[in-house]
Structure 1
């Protein structure tokens, strides 16, 4: 399968090549045999995967090694069936990395770099939770906004197109209950933040606020506008200062530097809008047109960074000091020399619980539906989110388990749907690898109505 040279041209990236990873040592090195500062960026090849030597023996956290090997085989089989050109996986249990590896390549081009734990993927809608929701909660903790503030308390232009919008609250934005449409193809007519503010301000609601749940990009775009207005900072600058840098998530940002494009997965062959094979810039057209930094999409990150974020969520908003050594197995990219607190006591639980029997939605986050991308064995208390490009993050606090699965399934076309069984299959197989508290098929409240 290839997308190169057929139609659209002019993608901004190119493959520099030359990366060859050594075969992994047959016997693990003694703890301390490698300098800790080297291991964050040290990888080796094991079969058809590129892995981190920071993975621990699965038995250490009561997981079955053979079952996890079956996860590897399942992913490789899906890639061979064109689910994506490549994938990255992180599996964390009880604070230990049992999987941190990459499969396939960053593009169908045979010269493309292999996927590694440091490969950078377009997060798409994971931006909504890892980025925008985090920023909103930080401002609430500081008393700068509240969930029940009206949007117009902070954005006086927001209700220009519909007086009913004056009743919409920040809580309703995060719950996708503001009455907004799912999206609009603004990018065909405009670019830049000012133009988007004018268009969103003039947009009428589809439904009265609070009446129904309709997943909306526009709601999270609006939440980001609030963050930027209240802080006086661009969303990416605020998140870098308050989340990425304190946690040591050095791969995570909007608009990756072109020097990093050899590590960035290619997304769609965009013939209709940009006329290029999208690489190193936001796949989402509205995120691209607004300037690359948006509340609903546009974030880029890696499996190793999202493992750090997931562990912070499992630790209820805090992160312990860490170094990227072989002995601890703790998710860690750049060292943390002191404890870090991102969310205060009770906030992780508050934003990740289903808020209504009418919907699976939590505050920003989602919870499992009957046919969830989390599969059938993550508990009803699990929370997560997916991204249109083929990314997902699911966390099950009852099992102290997190799974990061990153793919570029939209390469070369968004019509590819093979990532759907891939996601479910990976999560089911990971969950069934647990030996000490084997999960059961998920039971929960009656399935709410969803879009």
Structure 2
């Protein structure tokens, strides 16, 4: 009962998501600092357009796509290309603003990276079909939530109520919700492919949890394998048929499903050359060994899809579960997917199916209800309700070997390109000062002053704040221009930290803060001020903006940044109207 109450409270905290859109379509078009409330209009369907059509700056997107293209070859610090090829697709406000394909579907002949002759290599296409790996978990989750909508399954019910054979070895109390949020206590992996076929699913049913249910977060394939079996048991249909009839069919996702037909093999990106098990170069069959051992259809992996199809799924969820007149999930169901049920496990925010607020691949699009998932083969899907944006990156990074490394930098680059393309409207006048990399904004000497200097300004802060590191914005002062001291400030506004702070950080609120601080100074001294942005090197947000700078002592205004912009000296900062 306690867990159910917590879930209800979590849902109440985002009632704006569950309601119909109250703002007119496009009223926040192209803006990062005007977060949308509610779902997009249900009639929104994807159409092609340009960044300019929806108020986006194309330059950050173009820069991201150039970098993604560069990673198809060796780059400094990498022994191998990051991936053989990639397809990127970006959506904002229902408009597909970029669709880009680079590199190759097939490039190598073996696991050592021997390149095929040029005439046997196959170029990547915008409609290339990818093994999306763990993004498959979203389809299983939606299928399960459809059963919740139908009243056939209860989230707080023990899984054993639907799968009696599961209720052994300490699993009797594991609930459906805990499978969806990876809090069941089950281990991360199982090696079903090493077992005889008749033992594979029974071995999942016989697992003993590593932790008591609800006490630990462990991202677990057995959770989703079990959920897939549950869907099949309740519907009486194979999982692939359920997904086709209840999700991909209604949404018109023609290129999405399990075990792609041989006629489409020429459009399928190759994955890994596998020696154990001895599968050779895998193409058109699921890469995940467990899903492969289950005939290519499993709750945790097995789905193949295209960038356009995944964008359609993303828009359907932004619309509140409907697309082109076909509803696949209730608004309540979508809200549950976008609501964090894992508040007890900081850093592992998770809705029912979706990961939430994961800056490591969502970059500047990250926010409490930004939803997404990645796939081991090199895929990612990010859905940002606040800006009504979707970012899809599909790569075959395991071609020819998983040992060639991660493509997280590319995931970050695409999401950050979209975030930077969205405008942050100046709080005052026509421009504000902006930084998305380390730098300083320094004033001329101010004074001689009559005493302490009061400083006020507006700050837009979208920078990381967590236990692993902070991207801080600092206000500092100096009387000699060499030695700088932090100035404690107080910020007011949505998401602002409470009390005096020597650095400002925060993300997801997407609102301007009003900031004030006091600089100790003796009469007759001259004071310099500087704003310093010191981002973490690994995971950055959209960055920071400062506007409306005023500095005064008890007798006079010492600096009005709107009227005296020439007295501010940027290094790494720019003056921008967005």
TM-score range, shorter chain: 0.7 to 0.9
Alpha-carbon distance change, 119 to 373 in structure 1, aligned in 2, over 3 angstroms: same
TM-score, normalised with respect to structure 2: 0.62
Please give the per-residue CA displacement for 1:189-242, whole angstroms capped at 9, x wherever unaligned: 233xx4222111221111111110001000000001000000000011011011
Query: Does the residue aligned with 1:356 lie in a helix, a strand or coil?
Result: coil
| 1:133 maps to 2:137 | no
CA distance in 2, matches of 1:281, 1:134: 23
Corresponding position: 1:71 with 2:64: yes
Report the secondary structure of 2:99's partner residue.
strand
Partners of 1:209 and 1:413 lie apart in 2 by 36
Cα 1:437–1:208, aligned 2, differ >3 Å: closer, same or farther? Answer: farther
Larger Rg: 2
Displacement of 1:378: 2.8
State the match for 2:493 in structure 1.
Answer: none
- 1:397, CA displacement in angstroms? 0.6
User: 1:116 aligns to what?
Assistant: 125
SS of match in other structure, 1:305: helix
Asked if 1:173 corresponds to 2:179, the answer is yes
Residue in 2 aligned with 1:158?
166
Equivalent position of 2:399 in the other structure: 411
The offset of 1:356, in angstroms, is 2.6
Q: Give the 3 Å change call, closer, same or farther, for CA 259–437 of structure 1 in structure 2.
A: farther
* Aligned: 1:254 with 2:258: yes
Which residue in the other structure is 2:357 paired with? 368
2:408 match: 420
The 2-side partners of 1:184 and 1:356 are apart by: 24
Aligned to 2:104: 105
TM-score normalised to the size of structure 1?
A: 0.79
1:386 to 2:374 alignment = yes
Corresponding residue of 2:203 = 199
CA offset digits 1:374-396 (Å, max 9, x no partner):
11443332110100000000111
Structure 2 residues without counterparts, runs of 5 or longer: 1-45, 75-80, 108-115, 427-459, 470-578
The alignment partner of 1:80 has SS state of: coil
RMSD of the alignment, in Å?
2.0
Tell me the secondary structure at the aligned position of residue 157 of structure 1. Answer: helix
Query: What are the superposed Cα offsets for residues 255-290 of structure 1, whole Å, 9 maximum, x if unpaired?
Result: 011111110000011011123111100100000001
Question: Following TM superposition, by how much is the alpha carbon of 1:401 offset from its aligned partner in structure 2, in angstroms?
Answer: 0.7
The whole-number CA distance in structure 1 between the counterparts of 2:145 and 2:463 is 29
Task: Give the secondary-structure state (helix, strand or coil) at the position aligned to 1:316.
Answer: coil
Contact 2:181 2:342 (C-alpha < 8 Å) held by counterparts: no
After superposition, the Cα gap between the structure-2 partners of 1:315 and 1:444, relative to the gap in structure 1 and judged at 3 Å, is farther
How far is the alpha carbon of 1:363 from its aligned partner? 1.3
1:149 to 151, 157, 178: 157
Match of 1:275 in 2: 279
Residue of structure 2 equivalent to 1:91: 90
Contact residue 364 and residue 420 of structure 2 kept, 8 A: no
1:113, distance to aligned residue in structure 2 (A): 2.8
Q: How many residues align?
A: 372
In structure 1, distance between residues paired with 2:365 and 2:463: 5
After TM superposition, the structure 1 = structure 2 runs for residues 22-41 of structure 1, keeping only pairs within 5 Å, are none
Between the aligned partners of 1:421 and 1:343, the Cα distance in structure 2 is 33
CA contact (8 A) 1:354 1:367 kept: yes
Moved more, 354-363 or 431-440: 431-440
SS in 2 for 1:230: helix
CA–CA distance in structure 1, aligned partners of residues 284 and 303 of structure 2? 11
Q: CA deviation at 1:177?
A: 0.8
Residue 61 of structure 1: aligned partner: 54
1:447 Cα deviation from its structure 2 partner:
7.4
Go from structure 1 to structure 2 and tell me whether the alpha carbon gap of 1:254 and 1:65 turns closer, same or farther (over 3 Å shift): same
- In structure 2, C-alpha distance between the alignment counterparts of 1:87 and 1:408, rounded to whole Å: 7
Higher mean alpha-carbon deviation, 105-114 vs 150-159, is at 105-114
Indicate conservation of the 8 Å contact 1:378/1:442, yes or no. Answer: no
CA-CA distance at 1:403 after TM superposition: 0.2
1:190 aligns with 2:201: no
**Cα distance, 1:423 vs. partner?**
1.1
Higher mean Cα deviation, 244-253 or 106-115?
106-115
Please report how far the alpha carbon of residue 360 of structure 1 lies from its aligned counterpart in structure 2 after TM superposition: 1.6
Q: Looking at secondary structure, tell me which structure has more strand per residue.
A: 2
Offset of residue 67 of structure 1: 2.4
Distance in 2 (CA, whole Å) between partners of 1:287 and 1:255 is 11
CA distance in structure 2 between the partners assigned to 1:196 and 1:364 by the alignment: 24
1:441 equivalent to 2:462? Answer: yes
Pairwise CA distance, 1:437: 5.9
Does residue 352 (structure 1) correspond to residue 338 (structure 2)? The answer is yes
Deviations 1:374-433 (A, max 9, x none): 114433321101000000001111111110000010111111224111111221122101
- String of CA shifts for 1:130-174, please: whole Å, max 9, x gaps: x100100111000010111111111111134x0x20111100001
- Alignment of 1:219 with 2:223, yes or no, is yes
Moved more, 96-105 or 166-175: 96-105
Could you say what secondary structure the match of 2:331 adopts? Answer: coil
